[in-house]
Amino acid sequence: MGLDTAQSKPHERLNAYLADDMAAVNDLIRARMASEHAPRIPEVTAHLVEAGGKRLRPMLTLAAAHLCGYQGDHHLRLAATVEFIHTATLLHDDVVDESGQRRGRPTANLLWDNKSSVLVGDYLFSRSFQLMVETGSLRVLDILSNASATIAEGEVLQLTAAQDLATDEAIYLQVIRGKTAALFAAACEVGGVIANAPEAQVRALNAYGDALGISFQIVDDLLDYWGTGATGKNIGDDFRERKLTLPVIRAVAAGDATQRAFWQRTIEKGDQRDGDLEQALHLLNTHGALESTRATAIQWADTAKKALQTLPDSELRGMLGDLADYVVARIS
């Protein structure tokens, strides 16, 4: 395990600390992506897996397992499992969103076709399923099967709720739990379960992952109106795709009839004209929706850090706490 450099970002420090494990996970991912007869599979997945994502989810699993004193090697399989599930959902998301870009690179559905994205996503799901079965832990399988159902249900919910102004904060929370927090929570929890940690620690790991994931997704949605393009996202993508995210939900709730008509036209009906994005940003600022969304993200990061207190004090725990701070520090 590597160095802890105080100046670097927490996910980079985690990556350094977990360097040996992460190398083993990367090897496992590459080995299980391979397909003798269908070379399209490694082509498509390599494009995504090698695309330089932060590998947050597998790091969470590895960190949770180490934090609870795990000595075996099943945590490597579980880390690869969560990365495969994540990659599979990205492939399917890009088909659903008809995206052309992810992390500043063309998406697989653009480079190959929607068919490949759908089927290679299915392949990765099935591979993740094989990997977790190999751990022989029914409890792990239970956690990950429930997380999968939450993810899938959240995605369908988003499909119908996104363009509907009746979508409130409770529905938004359910959507982002499905989209992000369910896998963060499961990634952390299975690390504790495989380490045979006490129940209170397992619950704390789930709570940490859940709150971290919620904070992460709120920030992601906020950056769509706040960001600089450095995140690989274009400002206003969600607006153009008519996604009702937290800042907009709050601006809609605080707006008068004229403003409501604006949101109905642009988000519900999708009738968008020049200057609409600027008007949307103006309304978000008028109602303090960006600032209040940022405050909510910080609250969730605090919830995440609080959950860590149940876990053994260690350098690793400190890094997980810093990670929660870092997630919200992306808004600057």
Q: Which residues bind a second copy (CB under 8 A)?
A: 35, 37-41, 89, 92, 95-96, 114-116, 118-120, 122-123, 125-127, 129-130, 133, 136, 138, 141-142, 145-146, 148-149, 151-153, 155-157, 159-160, 171, 174
CB of 14 to a second copy, least distance (A): 28
For a second copy, which is the closer residue by CB, 146 or 286? 146
309 CB-contact burial (10 Å; exposed 0-12 / middle 13-18 / buried 19+): exposed
Token pair in block for residue 302: 């605090």
CB of 131 to a second copy, least distance (A): 9
For tokens 């495969």, name the residue. Answer: 84
Task: Report in angstroms how near the CB of residue 117 gets to a second copy at its nearest.
Answer: 9
224 touches 237 (CB < 8 A): yes
Least CB distance from residue 197 to a second copy, whole Å? Answer: 21
DSSP output for 64-126: HHHHTT--SSHHHHHHHHHHHHHHHHHHHHHHHHT-SEETTEE-HHHHS-HHHHHHHHHHHHH
CB of 40 to a second copy, least distance (A): 5
Query: 102 or 287, CB closer to a second copy?
Result: 102
Distance (Å, rounded) from C-alpha 195 to C-alpha 71? 8
Shortest separation between residue 236's beta carbon and a second copy, angstroms: 21
Do residues 38 and 162 make contact, with C-beta atoms less than 8 angstroms apart? no
Closest CB to a second copy among residues 76, 120: 120
Of 19 and 149, which has the nearer Cβ to a second copy? 149
SS3 165: coil
Query: Would you say 293 and 218 are in contact if contact means Cβ atoms under 8 Å apart?
Result: yes
Cα-Cα-Cα-Cα dihedral sign, residues 110, 113, 116, 121: positive
Q: How far is the CB of 129 from a second copy (least distance, A)?
A: 4
CB-nearer residue toward a second copy: 33 or 195: 33
Nearer to a second copy, 15 or 81 (CB): 81
Give the three-state DSSP class for 17: helix
Strand partners, 106: 101
Scan for tokens 């260690």, then name that residue.
Answer: 314
Q: Cβ of residue 209: shortest distance to a second copy, in angstroms?
A: 18
Residue 44 or 204: which CB sits closer to a second copy? Answer: 44
Q: For 68, phi and psi rounded to 5 degrees? A: -95, 15
Closest CB 34 distance from a second copy, rounded Å: 11
Q: Determine whether 107 is exposed, middle or buried from the number of CB atoms within 10 Å of its CB (0-12, 13-18, 19+).
A: buried
d(CA 290, CA 283): 10
